[in-house]
Amino acid sequence: METTPPAAGSTRVRTSPLRTAIERFARDESHERRQAVEAARGPEAALLAREGEVDWLPYGPSDSDAIACEILANAGPLELEYAAIRSGVGIFDANHQGTLVVRGGDRREFLQRMLTADLREFPPGRVSEAFWLNRKGRIDADLLLGEFGTQIVAAVDLHSAAAAAASLERFVVSEDVEIADASDSFHHLWLLGPRSGALLEAASEAAAPAPPSASIHTIADTECLAISQDWVGAAGQVLVVPADRVAAVWEALLQTEVAGTRQRVRPVGWLAFNVARIESGTPLFQVDFGSEALPHETGVLARRVSFRKGCYLGQEVVARMESLGKPKQRLVGLRPRGDLLPVAGAQIFALEEGSMGPCVGQVTSSTPSPMLGAAPIAFAMVRSSHADDGTEVLVNAEGEQVVATVVPLRFVAAAAGEVR
């Protein structure tokens, strides 16, 4: 996803409804920290002044007609936010997410014929990931689905929501199905970290079913839909909250004490989330692969596509790719040697007899990895000829070219403490 500020004069900006609350949290926490340091007469007190500042990032395509979202970059020290994700729980304001709601008695059968996932057995409480493809087999939307008994709710990138709802609606003929883009009615909060389920249970005073699951919880007198999802190596939760109640729910979550952790529940931003999700091998639609990608190129084929179901839109292309062999390119992990970090968009070249060959791809995401001793790691879209594990390539990094090795997408298996 190319992220740019909104075009001059544009009014299509989705401002976070939590902006004031997040900035107040950061300001109050910074004040508390300064008081603690000053009470100990530590000279570090003056260095903490900036820790109360909140940074925001623009998110959206460069097309000036598209909605530009602001997403939280950080609400305090990155180290504290990352630690919350890895050992406790953090709340991410997912202002860039949209919501599709599918109702009607034929909703499961209809989506079974449309999407790449197998939804034949999709009772209330189940969760599934799926692609919505066009006739050419390319990805129009990446969906996280939860069945709630009377409706299926799908979390989707905001910039895909309206088009996905409209294109799905065009295939409804006589079925009892209603499809709505409800992105203006709901706001998403992501609970990230190994204590996410415990936070959900404590805040709602109700048990959360074992993931993967879709469940309904009442938080701050508000009905919230919870869809479990693992982005960071631990089961998290997508909370789909009525937009006019999200501030109350957010505040209630922050004030909840979670047994089993000494860390406070805290807001976390894109920067900390990005580190953890790259370490854990989680590519994102419109960041690491886009609407021109085929499912076989994404690195998440097995999680989104079933080869045991009947026809769906774009299936012929997917089946042909599966039977005939490799796609032209594929998303892979990349481990550069040394400590130079390639950034998104950095070109990757073949390594031929110790010298630079042709360009074979580019970096899509990167980060220093705390769990790997701050070593640089990256995702990259690379030609299949150079996408096998162990292949060595050259990548541009901080003004130099460094050798890097192609590896699986997941760098850290957090649950087992394993690294690659």
Residue 23 corresponds to which amino acid? E
Can you give the pLDDT at residue 31? 72
The pLDDT of residue 35 = 66
Residues in CB range of 18: below 8 A, 6 or more apart: 93, 95, 246, 247, 250
Residue 270, H or E segment: helix 270-279
| Amino acid 282: pLDDT | 98
Give the single-character DSSP code of 285: B
Model confidence, pTM: 0.92
Containing 74, the helix (H) or strand (E) segment is: strand 68-74
Q: What is the pLDDT of residues 197-227, one digit of tens each?
A: 999 999 999 999 999 999 999 999 999 999 9
Q: Which DSSP letter does residue 75 get?
A: S
Q: How many CA atoms lie within 13 A of 391 on its CB side?
A: 23
Q: What is the C-alpha separation between 93 and 351, in angstroms, rounded?
A: 41
What does the DSSP assignment read for 385-409?
GG-STT-EEEEEETTEEEEEEEE-S
What is the model's pLDDT at position 342?
98
CA distance 26 to 396: 36
Hey, what domains does the chain have and what are their CATH numbers?
A: 328-419 (2.40.30.110)
DSSP, collapsed to helix, strand or coil, labels residue 314 as coil
- Cα separation, 420 vs 413, whole angstroms: 9
Instruction: Tell which residue, 95, 205, 247, 231, has the closest CA to residue 157.
Output: 95
Site of tokens 């900390």:
272
- Beta carbons of 139 and 295 less than 8 angstroms apart: yes
Q: What is the C-alpha radius of gyration for the chain, rounded to an integer number of angstroms?
A: 22
334 with 362: CB under 8 angstroms? no
* Distance from chain centroid for Cα 246: 19
Rounded to whole angstroms, the Cα distance separating 33 from 47 reads 11
Structure tokens at 75: 């609400």
Residues of the chain with pLDDT under 70: 1-12, 33-52, 62-65, 414-420
For residues 317 and 134, is the Cβ–Cβ distance under 8 A?
no
